[in-house]
Chains A and B, each alone.
Chain A
Amino acid sequence: EAQVTQNPRYLITVTGKKLTVTCSQNMNHEYMSWYRQDPGLGLRQIYYSMNVEVTDKGDVPEGYKVSRKEKRNFPLILESPSPNQTSLYFCASSFGGAGELFFGEGSRLTVL
């Protein structure tokens, strides 16, 4: 089954404790992206990757890191999480950067 898989789905952590949200897709997509969704703000792009070893900042990259060492994986790293990073995070992938995006189920992160 074609899908984008994110882990963990739910996480409560404390300020400053490094964490990684993994994202994997099995559709051989070149393009992958991370979004955060906050009430009233819609979907805001954090980082995206057009292909392996190619990443770029989106609209809200501060406090986040990403890497794209393999085509299928695109982890989101929070080196020192802060409460303002409490949010619902979505990973997405597509064949082309602007084609149909396939989203994961989301990861709800709470930073205390």
Chain B
Amino acid sequence: GENVEQHPSTLSVQEGDSAVIKCTYSDSASNYFPWYKQELGKGPQLIIDIRSNVGEKKDQRIAVTLNKTAKHFSLHITETQPEDSAVYFCAASIYGGSQGNLIFGKGTKLSVKP
């Protein structure tokens, strides 16, 4: 089955700097790669996702890149702000598949220092 590795497990940056979180996946059939943000005391919430027919996707200060050949994808946050502090999870799945389960990485705790 699918296995998703996520690095680093913790990341501390200065406000205004960029943050990058990387994930690798094992199943070449996976074609959907979402990122979730979990704020303290809340459930995870989708912030951006990418399908395998796209190499990069941006949404304001957030971008995700996908390298299908190497089976890795990354989350990039530019101009970080204190409110970006949270735990971030990457995930992978076969969109539309009969099983259709998202497999999550172990998470990255991002701290943005003012």
Residues of A within 8 A of B (CB): 4, 31, 33, 35, 40-45, 48, 50, 56, 58, 90, 92, 96-101, 103-106
Nearest-CB distance from A7 to chain B (Å)? 14
Say yes or no: A99 contacts B44, CB within 8 Å.
no
- B26-81 residues with Cβ-Cβ distance < 8 A to A are 32, 34, 36, 41-46, 49
With a cutoff of 8 Å between Cβ atoms, the chain A residues found around residue B114 in the complex are none
Nearest residue, chain A, Cβ from B104: A43
Say yes or no: A98 contacts B42, CB within 8 Å.
no
Q: Known contacts being A96-B96, A98-B96, A99-B95, is A58 close to B44, with CB within 8 Å?
A: no
With a cutoff of 8 Å between Cβ atoms, the chain A residues found around residue B42 in the complex are 105-106
With a cutoff of 8 Å between Cβ atoms, the chain A residues found around residue B45 in the complex are 103
Nearest-CB distance from A108 to chain B (Å)? 10
Bound-state Cα–Cα, A112 to B10, Å: 30
Say yes or no: B101 contacts A98, CB within 8 Å.
yes
Say yes or no: A90 contacts B43, CB within 8 Å.
yes
Residues of B within 8 A of A (CB): 6, 9, 32, 34, 36, 41-46, 49, 89, 93-97, 99-102, 104-107
Bound-state Cα–Cα, A15 to B16, Å: 48
- B43's partner among A31, A41, A58, A106 (CB-CB below 8 A) is A106
Bound-state Cα–Cα, A41 to B41, Å: 17
With a cutoff of 8 Å between Cβ atoms, the chain B residues found around residue A4 in the complex are 43
Most buried by B among A45, A97, A103: A97
Q: Known contacts being A48-B101, A58-B101, is A43 close to B44, with CB within 8 Å?
A: yes
Nearest residue, chain B, Cβ from A43: B104
